[in-house]
């Protein structure tokens, strides 16, 4: 059976766009933040980096914030 490709486009929602931009900013901030604690586990790096962007984004749900911090922490961990 042949594969059929459907092309459609959802209209962009401004609230979702704002959240995605906030998450991108959090990722950049996490990668740029120095972490001189000698932590090596990804979980402990996430726990150390999570509080820094929290005051700047008080309306961003914690699940969104953690989903932005995790990839930033992984990049930070493998860049050290």
Q: What is the pLDDT of residue 39?
A: 66
Check: CB of residue 37 under 8 Å from CB of residue 76. Answer: no
pLDDT at 80 exceeding the cut of 60: no
- In Å, how far from its chain's centre is CA 4? 34
Query: pLDDT for 1-36, tens place per residue?
Result: 788 888 878 888 888 888 889 888 888 887 776 565
Query: pLDDT for 32-60, tens place per residue?
Result: 765 655 666 777 777 777 787 888 888 88
Stated pTM of the model: 0.65
Check: CB of residue 11 under 8 Å from CB of residue 53. Answer: no
The domain ranges of the chain are 16-79
Which of 80, 71, 74, 79 minimizes the C-alpha distance to 26?
Answer: 71
pLDDT mean across residues, the chain: 79
């Amino acid at each position: 059976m042949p594969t059929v490709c459907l092309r459609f486009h959802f209209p962009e929602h401004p609230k979702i766009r704002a959240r995605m931009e906030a998450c991108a900013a959090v990722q950049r901030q996490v990668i740029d933040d120095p972490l001189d604690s000698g932590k090596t586990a990804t979980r402990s790096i996430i726990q150390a980096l999570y509080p820094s962007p929290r005051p700047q984004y008080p309306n961003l749900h914690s699940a969104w914030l953690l989903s932005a911090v995790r990839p930033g922490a992984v990049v930070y961990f493998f860049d050290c």
